Chains A and B, each alone.
Chain A
Amino acid sequence: MSVLESRRRSRITGPATYGKDRPRFTPTMRLILLSVVLAIAIACFLLLFVRGSFAFAFPRRLNMLGAMAVAAFTHGLGTVVFHTVTNNRILTPSIIGFDSLYVLMQTLTVFVFGGTAIANTEGIPKLLAQTALMVALATILYRWMFSGKLGSLFLMLLVGVVIGLAFDSISTFLQRLLSPTEYDLLSVKLFGRLSAVKGDYLPLAFAVCVFAGVILWKRRHHLDALLLGREAAMGIGVSYKRELTIMLVLIALLVAFSTALVGPMTFFGFIVATLAYQLAGSYRHIFVLPMAFLLGMLTLVLGQFVMQHIFYAGGFLTVIIEFVGGILFIGMILRKGTL
């Protein structure tokens, strides 16, 4: 392998990625720049193209903006931290069965209590119960991973994915037994939906985000250390197992809550994190994490704006994001040749 080749490789596969070459903008400047762009995008989203009553449209848009902030925060930060602790940049936390468990829960609700139940049981208790169930599934998986002598991350992921496949196969069967009306009521729940999030839930959602944000802020240096890999991190005095456990439970909480609130979005976090590594100009979490959040917001706000006012298909945003994310995922595997 030539020197050039090996340098290229180390840049592609190494854990730390610094932009293209030496950064022209410092990471802080990049964050500020992106914030300005985001502010403009938010202003456009909130204020432009209001048909009819402004007093009617504005609170609804503000509500949706809140939902976008929650989705961007949970998926963006959750995925970056997940990549750090699992030492890969391909997988996203929602693949370990969160989405499938969510779909199964919704399908079971409609199957057992009928189509109207899904609207009638709406409320904070249901949201919390769903989150609790998903976090419980993840925690059982994580505990099991740490139990054996040769506990392996990939083993855990694979087990999670396979459990998800089993859930899917039950959901698909139950969906087949529903009447078309019931199925229509259910199908709304099976995609990510930003516009349907109720304003009442947002304070709780922000509280969850702030809680997670504070923990991540306090542990940002530990996260940086984890990037060095298990041995090196332990060598400089980080309690590897402890950090891993805290982070995995936190990720489970973030992604589970977001899935219960907004609906499943498997590849959104993947897009956001991948872009954040490219654009942050630094590998340190103090820059990458806010970058992921800002990029997530920008993707959603700009995407919604364009979809709604240019293509008149605002409801399809999350589906388009999943589609693009999926293609990006295949491209990344082909390019990097590793997980």
Chain B
Amino acid sequence: MKNAVLLPIVVVIVLVLAVASLFVGGFDISVETLLNDAEARDMFLISRVPRTLALIFAAMAMSVSGVIMQMITQNKFVEPTTAGTAQWAGLGVLFALIILPAADPMTKMVVATGFALFGTIIFIAVLRRLSVRSSLIVPLVGIMLGAVVSAVTTFLAGTFDLLQSMSAWRSGGFSSVVRGFYEPLWAVLIIAVLAFALANRFTVAGLGKDLATNVGLRYEQVVFIGVAMVAVATGVTTVVVGFIPFLGLIVPNLVSMMLGDDVHKNLPWVALVGAGLLLACDLIGRVVVAPMEIPASVILGVVGAIVFIALIVRQRRHVSA
């Protein structure tokens, strides 16, 4: 299908999903009550709008992070949850809970971001020392690193009696997102704009260190900036809504299957498709067991695992480990 046709269709679908996300829920809100009923209007502004915005920002954060990481590591299966970045951010949150129980969300975000940055640098360092960097080994190493960090988190949480609050936070979801709590996610917009500005550099970095250096790219610098951006995006998202697994994996892969590997051209698509996918998962989670809800991250975890497996089976014909 031509892009000229595809783009408007995708935009319309995402808009419909966003509107649906605004109007679906336990408290009955329609356009009519919105105009006439002050209570409905309050509810709309306090709960629905922040939730939908949080969904869109978190989706952008995770899918843009996925693109950046895939370019830096030259591997299609790397994203914050398969590289351990999210698990490190989780350890950071726990660390903040233990050391500074009364910390405000902002402090927690700084700590989580610091941990995420540290963990991602470790992952990159491990990758550089790997002699075999096949497409399947890289994510396996990342997932194992994440498992080690998760084990540490679980151990510490168990010692300090925070296990259940950790599992509550890990599968976070968007049900608790209200006005006054989601605002830090606006920072994701800055990351998205920055990613767009640096897109061409990431594309070149994706060609590999030697080639990138040859054409005049300050490779190490670009890698560090990319890692730092991913760490901030993951840290902020983790504190506000918890883990969102696999989003950074599915969306960039879908987009690059359609459009190729030009980051500059792909980024708006990635942000758009990511937002659509997360909005859809959140809507499904809210509708199927209403008035209860299944967090979007759980649905993504399951759907994402299936898509991930489908992707590697597809690759199996082209690449073997």
Which of A50-58, A109-117, A156-164 interfaces with chain B?
Answer: A156-164
Contact: B143 with A161, CB < 8 Å? yes
Shortest distance from the beta carbon of A312 to any chain B beta carbon, whole Å: 14
Is A154 a contact of B136 with CB atoms below 8 Å?
A: yes
Tell me, yes or no, whether B80 is within 8 Å of chain A by CB: no
Whether B140 lies near A158 (C-beta < 8 A) is yes
Stretch from B22-30, B92-100, B125-133 at the A interface: B125-133
User: Which one of B81, B137, B171, B309 lies within 8 Å of A176 (CB-CB)?
Assistant: B171
Nearest A residue to B315, CB-CB: A155
A34–B177 Cα distance when bound, in Å, is 58
B301 and A169 contacting across the interface, CB-CB below 8 Å: yes
Which of A91, A158, A337 interacts with B312 by CB under 8 Å?
A158
| Inter-chain contacts of A152 with B (CB < 8 A) | 136, 316, 320-321
Looking at the assembled complex, report how far the CB atom of B64 sits from the nearest CB atom of chain A, in whole angstroms. Answer: 21
Interface centre among A13, A95, A165, A267 (most CB of B within 10 A): A165
A266 engages B151 (CB within 8 Å): yes
Chain A residues within an 8 Å CB radius of B312: 155, 158-159
Whether a CB of chain B sits under 8 angstroms from the CB of A339 is yes
Q: Tell yes or no: B214 within 8 A of A by CB.
A: no
Q: A155-B136, A319-B155, A323-B152 are in contact. Are A169 and B141 (CB under 8 A)?
A: no
* Cα-based distance from A161 to B82 in the complex (angstroms): 10
Say yes or no for B89: interface residue by CB 8 A criterion: no
The reply to whether A148 and B316 contact each other, CB–CB distance below 8 Å, is yes
Question: Could you tell me if B155 and A170 are in contact, using CB atoms closer than 8 angstroms?
Answer: no
Closest Cβ of chain A to B177, distance in Å, is: 16
A-contacting 9-mer, from B55-63, B192-200, B292-300:
B292-300
* Neighbouring B residues of A161 by C-beta, 8 Å: 140, 143
Cβ-defined partner of B302 (8 Å) among A159, A170, A322, A326: A170
The verdict on B163 contacting chain A, using a C-beta distance below 8 Å, is: yes
Counting residue pairs across A and B whose Cβ atoms lie within 8 Å, the total is 126
| Interface residue? B167 (CB, 8 A) | yes
Q: Which residues from B are CB-within-8-Å of A91?
A: 140, 144
Asked if residues A339 and B137 are in contact (CB atoms below 8 Å), the reply is yes
Q: What does the 1/0 interface line of A299-337 toward B look like (CB < 8 Å)?
A: 000000000000000000001001100110110011001
A339-B316 contact given A165-B301, A169-B171, CB 8 Å threshold: no
Known: A176-B167, A176-B171. A165 touches B321 (CB 8 A): no
Interface membership of A175, Cβ < 8 A = yes
Let me know if A150 is at the binding interface, CB within 8 A: yes
A172 touches B167 (CB 8 A): yes
Shortest Cβ distance from residue A164 to the other chain B in the assembled complex, whole angstroms: 9
Q: Is A62 an interface residue (CB 8 A)?
A: no
Judged by a CB distance under 8 angstroms, whether B118 is at the interface is no
**Interface hits, B111-149 → A, CB 8 Å:** 122, 125-126, 129-132, 134, 136-137, 139-141, 143-145, 147-148
- What residues on A are CB-neighbors of B152 within 8 Å? 323, 326
Complex interface: chain A residues within 8 A of B308 (CB): 162
Contact A173 B321 (CB under 8 A): no
Interface presence of A183 (CB below 8 A): yes
**Interface size grouping (class) on chain A:** 35 or more
Tell whether, in the assembled complex, residue B137 and residue A173 are in contact, meaning their CB atoms are under 8 Å apart: no
Distance of B74 from chain A, by nearest CB (Å): 17
The CA of A163 and the CA of B148, in the complex, are separated in Å by 18
> A10 at the A/B interface (Cβ < 8 Å)?
no
| Set of chain B residues within 8 Å of A150, measured between Cβ atoms | 316-317, 320
A183→B164 contact, CB < 8 A: yes
A319 touches B301 (CB 8 A): no
| B141/A154 in contact, CB under 8 A | no
Is A162's CB under 8 angstroms from B305's CB? yes
Report Cα–Cα, A172/B163, bound state, in Å.
11
Contact B163 A323 (CB under 8 A): no
* Chain A CB within 8 A of B158 CB: yes
Whether A43 is near chain B, meaning CB under 8 Å from some CB there, is no
A153 at the interface (CB under 8 A from B): yes
How long is the Cα–Cα vector from A168 to B298 in the complex, in angstroms?
9
Query: Which chain B residue lies CB-closest to A180?
Result: B164
CB distance from B126 to the nearest CB of A (A): 6
The answer to whether the Cβ of A187 comes within 8 Å of any Cβ in the partner chain is yes
Chain A contacts of B141 at CB under 8 A?
Answer: 333, 339
Shortest A96–chain B CB gap in Å is 11
* From A13, A91, A339, residue with most partner B Cβ within 10 Å: A339
Instruction: Decide: B245 and A169 in contact? CB cutoff 8 A.
Output: yes
Residues facing A in B282-300 (CB within 8 A) are 294-295, 297-298, 300
Residues of B within 8 A of A322 (CB): 151, 155
Cβ–Cβ contact B158 & A333, under 8 A = no
Q: Separation in Å of the B170 CB from the closest CB of chain A?
A: 5
**Can you list 12 contacts pairing A with B, beta carbon distance less than 8 Å?**
A91-B144, A153-B321, A162-B309, A169-B171, A172-B167, A172-B170, A323-B155, A326-B147, A326-B151, A330-B145, A333-B130, A334-B126
Question: Which residues of A does B touch, CB under 8 Å?
Answer: 13, 90-91, 95, 148, 150, 152-155, 157-159, 161-163, 165-166, 168-170, 172-173, 175-176, 178, 180, 183, 187, 191, 266-267, 319, 322-323, 326-327, 329-330, 333-334, 337-339
Closest 10 CB pairs of A and B: A169-B301, A326-B148, A154-B321, A166-B305, A154-B136, A173-B298, A172-B171, A175-B167, A173-B171, A337-B129
